[in-house]
Amino acid sequence: MKVYIAGKIGTPSEIELLGKVDALCKSLGFSTFLPHRDVGLVSGISDVDRVFNGDITQGFGDCDIVIAVLDGLHVGAGTAWELGYAYANGIPAIGLKTDESIENALEYLSAILIGSMEIVSSFDALKDKLKAFKEDFS
């Protein structure tokens, strides 16, 4: 089973948090796709096609679930797009928001994102959801 891990990569702490999600998923026996790790970053406009096609073909091609890190004052544009793509293609998603309650983040996340997936507030809760997903999938 494969997890697509979505989230912002603008700071070292954001990348570190994505790495923690990756480690958790792997500890539960999932394979993972991290766009910045598996396709690479965009350093110029000439990289856009490579990154877009890599994310869609490699990342979403055979993924079973999306985990989206939602921490911060806004969701990154790429993360929002990835969640919309997953929803439109029937791929379940779980959001991870550890820095504040969903109620307090309503204006940042929007009702659309909140309504499209279950959102958990801790790594322990994410672990439980992933275990349940794996059991239901079997």
Give yes or no for residue 64 having a pLDDT over 90. Answer: yes
pLDDT of residue 95: 97
The answer for residues whose C-beta is within 8 angstroms of residue 121's C-beta and 6 or more apart is 96, 97, 98, 101, 102
Average pLDDT over residues 63-85: 94
Cβ atoms of 77 and 23 within 8 Å: the answer is no
- Burial (0-12, 13-18, 19+ Cβ within 10 Å), 65: buried
What are the residue ranges spanned by the domains of the chain? Answer: 2-137
**Rounded mean pLDDT of the chain?**
93
Cβ atoms of 77 and 92 within 8 Å: the answer is no
Provide the pLDDT confidence category of residue 92 given band limits of 50, 70 and 90. Answer: very high
Give yes or no for residue 25 having a pLDDT over 90. Answer: yes
Cβ atoms of 32 and 3 within 8 Å: the answer is yes
pLDDT of residue 118: 95
pLDDT of residue 110: 87
pTM listed for this prediction: 0.94
Give yes or no for residue 15 having a pLDDT over 90. Answer: yes
Q: What architecture is domain 2-137?
A: 3-Layer(aba) Sandwich (3.40)
